[in-house]
Structure formats: C-alpha cells, structure tokens
C-alpha cells in the first residue's frame, strides 16, 4: 500500500505542475493579446503614405471634447452609383480617424442594400431626404451639429471626355482627409472665421481664381472665409473680421488708410502685411516704422553659376525659423519666394520701449543673397554688389510681432496686437503655391496664429507631392539618344558576345 501511495504522489505532482504550466501559459497569452490590442505600433507602407493622417488632423481629432459619430452610407455593391468606387479608400481613411480619436470617434458603415432599416432610421433622424440623396455619403455628427459630404467629392477625377458612361471614372487624387477634417473644424468651432483682404491699392484680387484660388481654397478648408475690404469711407475695421491681409499693393496707401490701420493695431488688431518689392510705398513704409518695423528700399538678389555663365535671380529660397513659436512645425524647411523680395529690419530699442516682442520668421537659405539698392529694374541694368551701399548678408525677410501679450496662457482673451510682415507678396499666387507646398503651410500657420486658433497651429492636411524634373534641351536629347539607340545597341553587343562565346 505504501509503495502504491508513493507512486501516486509523483503523478499528482506532475499533474498539478502541468495544470499550473497550462494556466500560466494561458495567462501569458491573454496578457500578450491584451497588451497588443491596447498598445501597438502601426506603419503606413502605402505609396506617398496615403493612409497617414496629417499632424493637423491628429491635433483636431485628439482635441475633441465630445463624441464624434461618422456614418458612411455606401456599398461596394453599388458599382453604378457615383462615388461607389471610393468605398475602400473612404473606409480605410475613416479607420485612421477612429484610431486617432480613440473612444471619442465612432464610425458606422450603412450598406443601403443590406441595412435598409438602419438607413431609414438615420435618414429620418437627420432629415436627409430621399434614399437617392443618402447613397454614397459621409455624415458627421458632433454634439448635435451635422455635416454631410457626398462621397464623390472626396476625389478629383480625370477628364471624362472620350470615356463611355458605363466605365468607372479615373481618379487622379484622393482628398478625403482634407474635406473631412475641414468639415470637422467647422463643426467644432463656434463661428466662422472671416479674414479681410484689403483692396483699393492694386492688391492681388481674391475673386481671381488664377491668382489666389489655391490660397482661398486652403483657407476655406480650415473654415476661414476671405473677403475683400476697402478702407475708403470707413473709420474703423468692422469687428466681424478676425484679421486683415494687405497683399502686395501696387500703389501707396493714403493717410486715411494709414490712420485706420494704426487705430486697428492699437486696439488689438491682427495684420499680415506682404510687401510688393517692385512698388514704391513710402506711406506704408512710414506706418510700418511706427510699428517698429524698418523695410529697406532694396531688392534681394543672388548670383549663381551655370555651365556656361553667371546668372542673377530675384527668386529667394528661405528658411522658416523655429524661434518663432508658431513656425516650429516648419523649422528648417525651405520656402520659395519669387519675383522680388525686400529685406526687413526692426527697431529693437523702440520695440522694447513699446512693449512689443519681435521674432525673426524668414531668412534666405544661402549667404549669396544681398540687398540691391539701385533701381536696376527701371534702368534695365544688371545689379552689382557695392560694398557700403548695398545690404550684405545675413538678411531677414520676415518678422512676427506681438504687443501687449498676456503671459498667462490659460487666460483665453484676445489681449494682444499681432503683426506679420513679409518682404514678398508673389509667393501667395497659385503658380508659386503649386510649386512649393511649404509656402501654403506657412500661410495657414500665420493665419491661425493671427486668429489665435491654438488647436490648429500645426501643419495643414498633407497634399499629394508634385515631383518635377528640370532638364535642359541638351540633357533631354541625351536621354532620348540613350533610350532609343544606346540601350538597344548595348543589348546587341551583349548578344554578339554571348554568340561568340558559344561558338568557341
């Protein structure tokens, strides 16, 4: 009996040990799954990081104070319905919103072919109209405020001319993040932001899509309306405008205009002044001097060498400086300012006495630029640097000034005057913004800082990168020669060598 009992004890121990091991393994597997579900790292390996949300979108979504409900009325089965081809892209994008927002963001997809009852319920709740109007639509609901976006508007399509109506349209660019984030900003903000573009002095027109269409569209996507405002006949800037923009006046301001802008500055106004390097505006320069800014009577020029000769250019490549707080997202990035740029200095002693804080915003990216004071455009002469007359580097072309700021950031009041001065206005034209995406980012950061929109002080929604290859005529001829003759000839030579080797 004792021998039998002694045999049972080890077996019991072995069984107990096995049970404990299985239990511990189960606990480890459970903990690993729990940790991987709650804490994980995701990578976007798609072309151009297609599914990576921009810093602005992540900032907006992460700052939500109430729940956001997103309803997607779409179906992969509705191949004939406009926008149905975007079902996969839209679903993948909204999944990123859900990851970024956590428990604050809930996404629900309603298939009209399978979830008819749910579709009718939401259609009646949000008063969406007929069934056809709810096909292929994204609906955002934030704190009882709603915004609907037709799915077909989330993409740009190639010209449909020459294609059959039964064919699926060709998508050029998916801009779902831009439109959805824009709608979300409109829902989360209490009121629409209005920016006045001063007119009457030959400034760039806001109504001209060929000049400022891209700039205006970028503002609209952040719930900002750009509206022209003439200073003639008014004594005070209307309070409906959050900030003013003076964009490259060709003609000088009047004394009345200066008085209105000076009063606006003293009463806590916000201004973005872009100088026209090719125009003489002494009255405007005098106003800036009163603010503590000293624009030079120069044009920034640089020389560079080509294979055959030395050339001069008025185009200025710049560094955005992170010492200006709202430009930290662009610190070290290169911007492009074409056409004609003036250098700008400040009166440090006068600013300190007036209680104005000034920081440099823009510097030329290389040291070969100088400030040419000769009127060489009128004389049709090549500019030449004259020591002691022209301005030598380093030069500054952009400043940000703030007067009367409250140090305690928790106090949410408009307590200061803010001013941004840039020595160039041509960079906001469409032809430049299409070439340099950082310039668009710079403009939006400036506007958001002037508007005191702290949540949006980040890089705006990413844009599809445009890659350009500048080739000289000789280089293009070389490429054609290599492709048409060089590669076939190389293949022929290799074939002859292989044939010869085999013959031996």
Rounded Cα gap, residues 288 and 261, in angstroms: 10
pLDDT in tens, 191-223: 778 999 999 998 877 665 557 888 888 888 788
pLDDT in tens, 378-391: 777 778 888 888 88
Task: Judge whether residue 249 has pLDDT over 60.
Answer: yes
When comparing pLDDT for 192 and 309, which is higher?
192
Task: Judge whether residue 328 has pLDDT over 50.
Answer: yes
* pLDDT level of residue 337 (50, 70, 90 thresholds): very high
pLDDT of residue 13: 81
Most confident range, picked from 97-101, 108-112, 171-175, 267-271? 267-271
The stretch 427-442 carries a mean pLDDT of 87
The chain-wide mean pLDDT, for the chain, equals 81
pLDDT of residue 70: 92
* pLDDT level of residue 237 (50, 70, 90 thresholds): very high
pLDDT of residue 161: 46
* pLDDT level of residue 43 (50, 70, 90 thresholds): low
When comparing pLDDT for 381 and 449, which is higher?
449
Helices 255-266 and 282-291: crossing angle, nearest 10°? Answer: 20
Task: Judge whether residue 414 has pLDDT over 60.
Answer: no
The answer for residues whose C-beta is within 8 angstroms of residue 227's C-beta and 6 or more apart is 194, 195, 196, 197, 206, 241
Q: Are 61 and 100 in contact (CB under 8 A)?
A: yes
Outline where DSSP puts E strands in 129-269.
Answer: 137-142, 145-150, 155-157, 171-174, 193-199, 224-230, 243-247
Q: Which residues pair with 258 in a beta bridge?
A: none
Q: Which residues pair with 246 in a beta bridge?
A: 273
Task: Judge whether residue 227 has pLDDT over 70.
Answer: yes
DSSP code for 391: B
* pLDDT level of residue 169 (50, 70, 90 thresholds): low
pLDDT of residue 488: 85
Rounded Cα gap, residues 26 and 20, in angstroms: 10
pLDDT of residue 475: 72
pLDDT of residue 178: 80
Rounded Cα gap, residues 385 and 182, in angstroms: 48
What is the distance of C-alpha 26 from the center of its chain? 48
When comparing pLDDT for 427 and 172, which is higher?
427
pLDDT in tens, 351-376: 988 889 999 999 998 888 888 888 87
The DSSP result for 58-87, as a single string, is HHHHHT-SS-EEEEEE--TT-TTSTTGGGH
Task: Judge whether residue 292 has pLDDT over 50.
Answer: yes
pTM, two decimals, is 0.70
When comparing pLDDT for 447 and 112, which is higher?
447
């Amino acid at each position: 009996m004792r021998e039998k009992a002694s045999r049972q004890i080890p077996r019991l121990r072995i069984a107990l040990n096995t049970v404990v091991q299985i239990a511990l393994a189960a606990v480890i597997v459970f903990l690993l799954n729990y940790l991987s579900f709650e804490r994980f790292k995701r990578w976007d390996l798609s072309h151009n990081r297609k599914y990576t949300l921009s810093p602005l979108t992540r900032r907006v979504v992460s700052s939500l104070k109430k729940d956001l409900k997103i309803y997607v009325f779409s179906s992969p089965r509705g191949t004939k319905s406009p926008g149905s081809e975007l079902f996969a892209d839209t679903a993948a994008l909204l999944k990123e919103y859900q990851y970024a927002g956590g428990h604050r963001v809930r996404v629900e997809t309603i298939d009209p072919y399978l979830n008819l009852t749910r579709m009718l319920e939401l259609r009646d709740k949000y008063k969406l109209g007929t069934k056809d109007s709810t096909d292929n639509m994204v609906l955002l609901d934030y704190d009882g405020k709603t915004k609907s976006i037709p799915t077909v508007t989330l993409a740009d399509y190639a010209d449909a001319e020459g294609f059959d109506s039964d064919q699926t349209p060709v998508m050029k660019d998916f801009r779902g993040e831009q439109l959805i984030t824009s709608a979300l900003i409109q829902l989360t903000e209490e009121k629409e932001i209005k920016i006045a573009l001063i007119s009457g002095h030959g400034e760039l027109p806001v109504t001209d899509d060929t000049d400022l269409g891209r700039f205006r569209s970028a503002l609209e996507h952040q719930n900002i309306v750009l509206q022209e405002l003439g200073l003639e006949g008014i004594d005070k800037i209307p309070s409906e405008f959050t900030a003013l923009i003076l964009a490259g006046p060709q003609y000088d301001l009047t004394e009345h205009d200066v008085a209105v802008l000076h009063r606006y500055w003293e009463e806590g106004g916000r201004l973005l002044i872009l100088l026209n390097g090719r125009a003489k505006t002494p009255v405007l320069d005098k106003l800036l001097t009163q603010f503590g800014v000293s624009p030079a009577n120069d044009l920034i020029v640089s020389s560079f060498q080509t294979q055959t000769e030395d050339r001069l250019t008025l185009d200025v490549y710049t560094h955005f400086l992170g010492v200006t707080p709202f430009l930290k997202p662009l610190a070290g990035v290169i911007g492009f300012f074409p056409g004609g740029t003036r250098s700008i200095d400040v009166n440090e002693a006068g600013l300190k006495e007036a209680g104005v804080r000034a920081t440099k915003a823009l510097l030329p990216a290389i040291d070969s630029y100088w400030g040419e004071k000769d009127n060489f455009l009128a004389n049709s002469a090549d500019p030449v640097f004259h020591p002691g007359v022209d301005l030598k580097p380093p030069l500054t072309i952009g400043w940000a000034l703030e007067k009367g700021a409250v140090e305690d950031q928790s106090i949410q009041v408009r307590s200061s005057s803010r001013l941004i001065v840039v020595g160039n206005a041509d960079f906001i034209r469409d032809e430049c913004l299409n070439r340099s995406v950082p310039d668009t980012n710079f403009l939006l950061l400036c506007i958001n800082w002037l508007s005191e929109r702290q949540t949006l002080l980040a890089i705006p929604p990413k844009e599809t990168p445009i890659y350009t290859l500048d080739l000289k005529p000789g280089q293009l001829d070389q490429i054609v020669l290599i492709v048409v003759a060089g590669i076939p000839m190389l293949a022929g030579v290799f074939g002859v060598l292989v044939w010869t080797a085999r013959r031996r």
